């Protein structure tokens, strides 16, 4: 007999039954998944480093002053003034453009760099190409990403000829050997490479495009405001990552502890701005119907006083167009403020805010302090004939008194105002040593209740303490 064991199998019955696949254990599956995640993670790091890495641009010998055309240097000086470069690149009491200015941000303190032509601590060994890359891409000569406290997100719009003029101006300054203090930025933002991620999200590499529907003055103003003037850097609110909210352009922001007021249609200025009043404010730091430039804006106005008049008029024309013509309510409020400032009766009282009002006791105490310290200069009827300070602003015209918060008004009262050394200009003494926190809070409450129809500011005493602390920290 033939054994069935020796017969070939033809795949029938159960003779050639397939084996069942072994089930993968949960532990093995988890390991595979973890391995895949790690591979993707390290691949992402490699890609990010490849995108973030920027090559060093070779150093050059510092160019001789005589190699730059005098007209180009002069033009660069005007552009540097429009960009207010000296403000962020000069330490308090330090040499111009030698760096060291502390810029306090929500992410830490960043110090302005030395941009004099010193070959070791400044930009003396930077080529024009290295300078242009820093301006437009936020990358220094050595390939390090710059923090956007340096507003290269605006400078991308600056034309090549203007970059050359700025380079010529800076390279003809006196070289100053000055090491920049170390930045104090929170971890992990102190890792410069991470700035490239911010750039991927928010840095737009584009040239300025004139609007053919607008005239030359408007387009020049737009170019300066959006680009080198970087007005939006202070006057536009920012998101949690420190980028400007483009949809709220010029709707108000923060700068060095001050509130940069809205200069769009939402402006709180008691009298609506016009191109002419904006021009006078930007050019001279004051306007008859608006308050004196204070805080960081004082330096801006000081610098703009040295540039060609048509540049300032172009800036004013563009900003006035962004603000737009005032609506009926703003016009009514403006007429009311002007009537009060001129000592006449305001026939059309604007509708008061629905918010809470200050108590009578607070207003009375503040009124006494006002009469003793402020009325001689700021009051219309209270000014004595021939008073040397008779040109002080009537506070019904003050934007600081009308703002959503009291911070600017408190800082002005504490610090006062003074023109640069040796120059004429408005002066107001500071009262930081003459008035207590409680007295300043009462005064601020009185001014708000008396010179506006706005609701009371909450927690004024807390804001006074906060302002004192901030001023003290900045002075260190």
Residues 6+ apart with CB under 8 A from 57: 126, 127, 129, 130, 133, 141, 143
> Coil, strand or helix: which one is 194?
helix
CATH topology for the 354-475 domain? Cytochrome Bc1 Complex; Chain D, domain 2 (1.10.760)
For residue 374, which phi and psi values (nearest 5 degrees)? -120, -30
For residue 454, report the phi and psi dihedrals to the nearest 5 degrees: -85, 160
Of residues 342 and 442, which shows the higher confidence score? 442
pLDDT digits (tens, 9 = 90+) for 148-179: 999 999 999 999 999 999 999 999 999 999 99
pLDDT of residue 391: 67
Cα–Cα distance for residue pair 304/289, rounded to 1 Å = 20
How many whole angstroms separate alpha carbon 368 and alpha carbon 447?
11
Could you identify the residue written with the tokens 């103003």? 221
Question: 18 falls in which pLDDT band (50, 70, 90)?
Answer: low
Distance separating alpha carbons of residues 455 and 396, to the nearest angstrom: 15
Averaged pLDDT of the chain = 87
CB 399 within 8 A of CB 291: yes
Tell me the three-class secondary structure of 233-252, residue by residue.
Answer: HHHCCECCCCCECHHHCCCC
Give the chain's radius of gyration (CA, Å). 31
Beta-ladder partners of 253: 260
Contact between 242 and 107 under an 8 Å Cβ cutoff? The reply is yes
pLDDT digits (tens, 9 = 90+) for 55-107: 899 999 999 999 999 999 999 999 999 999 999 999 999 999 999 999 989 99
Task: Provide the residue ranges of all domains of the chain, joining segments of one domain with +.
Answer: 65-202, 216-323, 354-475
Which positions ≥6 away from 267 have C-beta within 8 Å? 261, 273, 323, 399
Locate 15 and state its tokens: 């003779």
CA distance 464 to 409: 10
pLDDT surpassing 80 at residue 287: yes
Give residue 16's pLDDT: 53
Q: Which residues pair with 334 in a beta bridge?
A: none
The span from the CA of 370 to the CA of 361, in Å, is 14
106 with 255: CB under 8 angstroms?
no
Nearest to 67 by CA among 127, 130, 136: 127
338-365: per-residue pLDDT in tens?
Answer: 988 887 544 445 555 555 566 678 789 9
Rounded alpha-carbon distances, angstroms, from residue 369 to 32, 405, 441, 454: 75, 21, 11, 21
Per-residue pLDDT tens digits for 245-258: 999 999 999 999 99
Whole-number pLDDT of residue 342? 82
Pick the CATH number of 216-323 from 1.10.760.10, 1.20.200.10, 3.90.1150.10, 1.20.1070.10: 1.10.760.10
pLDDT band at 51 (very low <50, low <70, confident <90, very high): low
Which tokens in the block code for residue 35?
């391995």
β-partners of residue 110 are: 103
Under 8 Å CB-to-CB from 96, ≥6 apart: which residues? 86, 89, 90, 173
Percentage above 70 pLDDT, the chain? 84
> What is the predicted pLDDT for the residue at 313?
98
Could you report the per-residue pLDDT of 98-128, keeping only the tens digit for each? 999 999 899 999 999 999 999 999 999 999 9
pLDDT at position 205 is: 86
pLDDT of residue 215: 97
Q: Is the peptide bond before 188 cis (omega within 30 degrees of 0)?
A: yes
Report the alpha-carbon distance of residue 119 to residue 176 in Å, rounded: 9
The residue-averaged pLDDT of 17-43 equals 65
Tell me the average pLDDT across 273-287: 95
| C-alpha–C-alpha distance, residues 91 and 176, integer Å | 12
CA distance 135 to 109: 21
Rounded CA gap, 90 and 96, in Å? Answer: 5
For residue 337, give the nearest of 381, 405, 383, 393 by alpha carbon.
393
Give the pLDDT band (50/70/90) at residue 49.
low
Contact in structure between 394 and 378 (CB atoms under 8 Å)? yes
216-323 and 354-475: same fold?
yes
Q: Is residue 104 helix, strand or coil? A: strand
User: Tens of pLDDT along 197-216?
Assistant: 999 999 998 899 999 999 99
Q: What are 382-395's pLDDT values in tens digits?
A: 444 433 444 688 89
């Amino acid at each position: 007999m033939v054994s069935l064991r020796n017969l070939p199998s033809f795949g029938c019955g159960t003779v050639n039954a397939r084996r069942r696949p072994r089930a993968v254990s949960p532990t093995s599956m988890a390991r595979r998944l973890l391995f895949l995640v790690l591979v993707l993670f390290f691949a992402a790091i490699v890609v990010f480093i490849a995108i973030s890495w920027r090559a060093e641009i070779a150093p050059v010998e510092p160019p001789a002053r005589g190699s730059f055309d005098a007209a180009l240097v002069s033009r660069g000086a005007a552009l540097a003034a429009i960009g207010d470069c000296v403000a962020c690149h000069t330490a308090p009491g330090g040499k111009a453009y030698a760096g060291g200015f502390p810029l306090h941000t929500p992410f830490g303190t960043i110090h302005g760099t030395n941009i004099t032509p010193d070959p070791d601590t400044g930009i003396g060994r930077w080529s024009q190409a290295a300078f242009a890359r820093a301006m437009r891409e936020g990358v220094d000569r050595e390939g390090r990403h710059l923090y956007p406290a340096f507003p290269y997100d605006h400078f991308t719009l600056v034309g090549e000829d203007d970059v050359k003029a700025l380079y010529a101006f800076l390279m003809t300054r006196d070289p100053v050997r000055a090491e920049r203090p170390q930045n104090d930025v929170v971890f992990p933002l102190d890792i410069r490479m991470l700035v490239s991620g911010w750039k991927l999200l928010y840095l737009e590499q584009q040239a300025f495009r004139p609007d053919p529907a607008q005239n030359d003055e408007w387009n020049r103003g737009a170019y300066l405001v959006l680009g080198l003037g970087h007005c939006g850097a202070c006057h536009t609110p920012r998101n949690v990552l420190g980028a400007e909210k483009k949809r709220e352009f010029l709707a108000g922001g923060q700068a060095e502890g001050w509130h940069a007021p809205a200069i769009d249609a939402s402006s709180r200025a008691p009298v609506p701005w016009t191109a002419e009043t904006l021009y006078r404010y930007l050019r001279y730091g004051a306007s008859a119907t608006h308050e004196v430039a204070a805080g960081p804006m004082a330096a801006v106005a000081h610098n703009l006083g040295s540039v060609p008049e048509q540049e300032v008029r172009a800036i004013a024309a563009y900003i006035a167009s962004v603000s737009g013509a005032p609506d009926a309510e703003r016009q009514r409020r403006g007429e009311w403020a002007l009537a009060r400032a001129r000592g006449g009766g305001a026939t059309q009282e604007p509708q008061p805010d629905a918010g809470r009002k200050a108590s009578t006791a607070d207003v009375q105490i503040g009124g006494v302090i006002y009469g003793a310290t402020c009325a001689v200069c700021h009051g219309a009827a209270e000014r004595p004939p021939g008073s040397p300070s008779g040109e002080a602003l009537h506070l019904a015209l003050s934007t600081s008194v009308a703002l959503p918060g009291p911070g600017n008004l408190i800082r002005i009262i504490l610090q006062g105002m003074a023109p640069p050394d040796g120059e004429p200009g408005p002066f107001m003494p500071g009262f930081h040593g003459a008035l207590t926190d409680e007295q300043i809070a009462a005064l601020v409450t009185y001014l708000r209740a008396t010179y506006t129809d706005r609701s009371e500011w909450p927690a004024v005493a807390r804001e006074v303490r906060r302002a004192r602390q901030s001023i003290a920290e900045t002075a260190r």
